[in-house]
Structure formats: structure tokens, C-alpha cells
Amino acid sequence: MSGRDPDRRRALLDAADRAIAAEGPDVSMAAIAAAAGVTKPILYRHFGDRSGLYEALADRHVRTVIAQLRPRFAAGGGGLRARATATITAYLDLVSANLNLYRFLFHRAGPEDARTRSRVTSLVRSLGEELGGVLAAEGVVPDPVRAQVLGHAFVGMVQTTGDWWLDQPGLDRDEVVESLVDVITSAVTGPVLTRRSGTASRAGGRT
């Protein structure tokens, strides 16, 4: 079916990217259609409706971010601090370099459309699950349940802190990264795990 032609859809998404970058997160659907050289009904025909366009943009860009972050936190041979630093730095660089698109997806499309919000949430959650799996598989956090809790917590913390950082012009990125990495390394290697291990030992020794 010509309305679902993948090359045409890709070209329309490229046009949407250009319109969002040029006009900001409040860009109108009419402006996106104009950038693509089509009318709004034709634009929607390729995606089903406006929600379909939003979801296609979310899939395209959130997946791209995840694909670029994955090798950094999954890289073998690097210490936890170095890998966390590389991953968070890459994330902040990506969102700041594509600020209008980031705000379109997370501040407009998500809040405006339940299907898009669910899709973005699912994609972000998958990154937390992957990170939790890495922490458990490498023995960084031996308890798989705790590894999942921390994986999701780290992803959520970095995302919300990054969102705040974007609204703080002039705030040094490296200072933000270092603070986040401090929290992550403390959560993994600090007294919380020690206390838990001690509690488990005492419980096991009761008669």
C-alpha cells in the first residue's frame, strides 16, 4: 500500500525533524506537513493519525539514543565509574544537541498523547531492564532483583536530572555528570549493600 511506503514515511519523518528543529517543540502539524510538501490529511495517511506520527518519531529517536548509550554501559573492561561517566556524558550531549526534538517528544507529544507516552515509557523502561541485566550479569550487583531496581532508578535519575539541567543555562555539564556518577557508585558500592549483607548474615545466624 503506497500510504505505508517505508521510503516515503522516512522522508516525511525527516521533514518532521527539520520542522521541529527549526520551529521548536510547539511546531504545528500544518508546519510539519508544509516542510514535507504535503497536506495534513496526506501526512496523517502515512501514519494513521497524529498519534501514529508521534509514535513513529518517538520510536525513531528514543531507539537511536538507546542504541548509542548501550555500548557505553555494556562495554567490558571499564570500571563502573568510567562507564557511568561515558554513558551519562553521551546522553546529556545527545539531548542538548537535539533540544527541540527532545522537548517535543517528552514535553509535548508524551503529555499530549497517551499512546506516545506509553511507547516512550516502554522504551525507557527497556533501557533500565538492560542496565539491570548488565549489573547482575557482571556481578556488580549480585542480587538480580536489586540490580533491576538500581537499573531503573539510575535511568530515571539521569533522565529527570538531565531534563532539569537543560533548563539551567551555564550549568557545567561535567559537574552534573560527576554528581550523578557519585550517586550511582555510592548506591552500588556504598554502605547500603554492606548493611544489607550484614542483615542477611545476622538473619542466617539466628536460632
46 in Cβ contact with 9 (< 8 Å): yes
* DSSP structural state of residue 76: T
| Residue 20 domain-assigned (yes or no) | yes
How many domains are there within the chain?
2
Same domain (yes/no): 41, 59: no
The percentage of the chain sitting over the pLDDT mark of 70, rounded to a whole number, equals 88
4 — pLDDT class (breaks 50, 70, 90): low
pTM of the model: 0.84
Read off the CATH number of the domain in which 9 is found: 1.10.10
What would the grid cell of residue 70 be?
A: 548501550
Instruction: Give the range of the structural domain holding residue 166, as residue numbers without chain letter.
Output: 51-189
Same domain (yes/no): 43, 56: no
| Residue 201 domain-assigned (yes or no) | no
What would the grid cell of residue 145 be?
A: 532483583
Average pLDDT estimate for 106-135: 93
CA distance 13 to 28: 14
Same domain (yes/no): 170, 104: yes
| Residue 202 domain-assigned (yes or no) | no
Read off the CATH number of the domain in which 64 is found: 1.10.357.10
